[in-house]
Amino acid sequence: MKAAELLVRCLENEGVRFLFGIPGEENLDIMHALHESTIRFITTRHEQAAAFMADVYGRLTGRAGVCLATLGPGATNLVTGVADANVDNVPVVWECNCLEEVCGACTIVINGRVRQACTALVDQLLAEKPGEIELRPMTKFPVLRDLMVDRWRIFVALEKIRAWLPVNSYYHMGPGQRQSQDTQQMAYLYSKCMSCGCCLEACPQFLKIELHRKEGETEIEFHAREREVIDRSFMGAHAVAQVELFNSNPIGGMNTAERLDALVSEGGIQTCGNAQNCVKVCPKQIPLTTAIAHAGRSATLHTLKKWFDR
């Protein structure tokens, strides 16, 4: 499958029915893919008209309006219509994907409580607050637009604690070490984390970080400064639980010391105030407080061992 065919398939899955624009040499593959698609291509005389048509289509139908242009001047001609849609905030932008509470993309604050939008039933929400349903973006992350936030910080914490299993090759190495049933069961509970951010939104120690570029600062310098600030802030309960998950794995356990070093660094588990809000709002009912308790014990033993091993 070509990238153009995959793009068209994604648009179909999002419910796109019309695509406004001008065909050209650079988008011929997309035009060919549209021949086998249910999406109807509407040819315009100017790229700016395509952008405005997509904008108005989105306002009238509530569906995503999509416009297409060629490279160079063709793409820049879209800017006016796209900017108009952005200023008018039409339609409301929010994230969703699986609609089955698996991906964690649709986390928003509904009626004052952080939760997954895909499993928030309207009748139950109206029972909580008759007459209206209030939607707000998460408050602990920078808002990109409307209900969509930048959750990059979640994955920075996972990178910090090395939430992966390192491999030296792709050759078959045979079966790994056996694990007890209790260890497997606890690992399964931790593995259900979908990085949705609910525990972070409810955590009083997890504070919002929103920096702005200084005058004359390059984008690389800005992201380096932002990363430094994030690394010094509290990593969150989700990262602590993943330390327990990967350290319990026979292969992941080989890097236990590195993860525990990250766990006791600035912004680590010592910052946790044990408010236990995280476990109450977790949509997957992960035992986060248990993970924090076990990780705290492991971190203490690790620190003492480092002191006496000097």
Tell me the average pLDDT across 158-178. Answer: 83
In this structure, are strands 66-68 and 113-116 parallel, antiparallel, or unpaired? unpaired
Q: How much is the pLDDT for 186? A: 94
234-287 tens-digit pLDDT? 999 999 999 999 999 988 888 999 999 999 999 999 999 999 999 999 999 999
Q: How much is the pLDDT for 90? A: 62
Is the pLDDT at 198 greater than 90, yes or no? Answer: yes
115: β partners: 108
3-state secondary structure of 219: helix
Is the pLDDT at 77 greater than 90, yes or no? Answer: no
Instruction: Report yes or no on whether pTM surpasses 0.75.
Output: no
The per-type count for the chain, helices as H runs and strands as E runs, is 14, 8
Contact 50, 69 (CB under 8 A): yes
First CA to last CA distance, the chain: 57
Of 109, 8, 189, nearest to 120 (Cα)? Answer: 109
Separation of alpha carbons 270 and 198, rounded Å = 20
Tell me the average pLDDT across 167-173. Answer: 74
The residues near 128 (Cβ < 8 Å, ≥ 6 apart) are 111
Of 228, 139, 245, nearest to 185 (Cα)? Answer: 245
Tell me the average pLDDT across 110-132. Answer: 89
Q: How much is the pLDDT for 89? A: 64
Q: How much is the pLDDT for 310? A: 67
- Residue 55 identity: D
Tokens of 258: 């590195």
Separation of alpha carbons 10 and 33, rounded Å = 12
Please name each of the domains of the chain with its CATH number: 3-88 (3.40.50.970), 94-148 (3.10.20.30), 151-165+173-308 (1.10.1060.10)
Is the pLDDT at 304 greater than 90, yes or no? Answer: yes
Q: How confident is the model at residue 92 (pLDDT cuts 50, 70, 90)?
A: low
H helical segments located in 100-162: 122-128, 152-160
What DSSP state is assigned to residue 120?
-
30-75 tens-digit pLDDT? 898 898 888 999 998 888 888 889 888 887 777 778 888 888 888 8
What DSSP state is assigned to residue 284?
T
Separation of alpha carbons 245 and 187, rounded Å = 5
Question: What percent of the chain has a predicted confidence (pLDDT) above 90?
Answer: 48
Q: What is the mean pLDDT of the chain?
A: 89
Separation of alpha carbons 112 and 136, rounded Å = 8
**110 vs 71: which has the higher pLDDT:** 110
